[in-house]
Structure 1
């Protein structure tokens, strides 16, 4: 039960709207004029890479039998992109040391989410590790480029407004159908059934 609860914090049903909400609040709380656009670009690139890797495998079987790789873990990649940035934004009014700890939690959480994907059998270690590399690289580059921007503190009411949608989504626990959508798209453009992990691993024999 614990791992199922943890893994939801990397689900697209939660993270996609949260990524958009982050951009809106950046326009309000961050001094950088182009910070929201930089964020949306960073967020979009991570999602694009995940989708392309999954599409290449589902449509044409492009993966790795040796490393049991069928595409980057979306939960891991997107959580590693979003959580460090979200906690950077929310911790703007905190003392420097406490803010550093908060952001560090943002980097740790995706590692745990990725581990939960392996424990639950949803992804192989290679898919999680590469997802972490992409996501943490994306969030790190964003935070480095925006390190000189001033992030204004949140009041309790502002924090509640920002988090109400993510909290509602977590409470419902409804999962995204992103994987099924990519699978159906792959079948549509190739005209044959999508590749599966079982088919990939059967090549070992």
Structure 2
């Protein structure tokens, strides 16, 4: 496995097609038990806050074309923001019954995975550096508040169970490799909100790292195939950026 294929695998793990269904499944597990129901409502608020702000930042650019002067920025990176909310939080929730030291290590590993996903989003040119950094910071802030509110409560009412973990892993397995059509959805919303015939879109943020095409015998031809997460272009129905 090459480093390029690792980057592609990581960016899929941070896609909304994986994280949003995962967040909903986690919400269902939390709300199912009276002992964790309040944590579930906090989790719903955290997910809505992060995903909502990501969406609003992108729709704002599409409608107005405004961005900070000198910045290559069209909205918060959803890959970075959702990853820094989801993975550290899930790590803390599923290790709720364990000692504090193990939970801290688990949260650290979740944050490390989120960082790797964020880096892959920049390396593969799905997002500019400013979009990745600001998205990661926003996801970290919300995750920190969520964990501060739930840390002690989940020690008293742990969430983790074999069924819960198995269902999460199965969902991840089924969702990895798919893309959430956020760009098309937000583009449609921006057109309806603005009433314009077209919306503001950014040209490609840079050369994309592409996987080589493989011949039937397994040899590389040197010809690139379409990038798993291509950068945006000028059409509303263009490529996906989350």
Is TM (by shorter chain) over 0.5? yes
Report if aligned partners of 2:54, 2:75 keep a CA contact under 8 Å in 1.
yes
**Structure with more helix by fraction:** 1
Q: Aligned residue for 2:81?
A: 77
Greater RCO, 1 or 2 (C-alpha within 8 Å, sep 6+) = 1
Q: Aligned residue for 1:193?
A: 198
The counterpart of 2:168, out of the listed 162, 167, 174, is 162
Q: State the Cα distance separating 1:199 from its structure 2 match.
A: 9.9
Q: Aligned residue for 2:211?
A: none
Partner Cα distance (2:41, 2:158) in 1? 18
- CA spacing shift, 1:128–1:103, aligned 2, 3 Å: same
Stretches of structure 2 lacking an aligned partner (at least 5 in a row): 206-242
How many residues align? The count is: 198
Q: 35-44 or 95-104, which moves further after superposition?
A: 95-104
- CA spacing shift, 1:32–1:125, aligned 2, 3 Å: same
TM-score by length of 1: 0.88
The counterpart of 1:60, out of the listed 53, 61, 64, is 64
Q: Aligned residue for 1:144?
A: 148
TM-score by length of 2: 0.75
Partner Cα distance (1:87, 1:101) in 2? 9
Question: Structure 1 residue 121 and structure 2 residue 125: aligned?
Answer: yes
Q: State the Cα distance separating 1:157 from its structure 2 match.
A: 3.7
Aligned-pair RMSD on alpha carbons?
2.1
- CA spacing shift, 1:19–1:153, aligned 2, 3 Å: closer
Stretches of structure 1 lacking an aligned partner (at least 5 in a row): 201-205
Q: Aligned residue for 1:203?
A: none
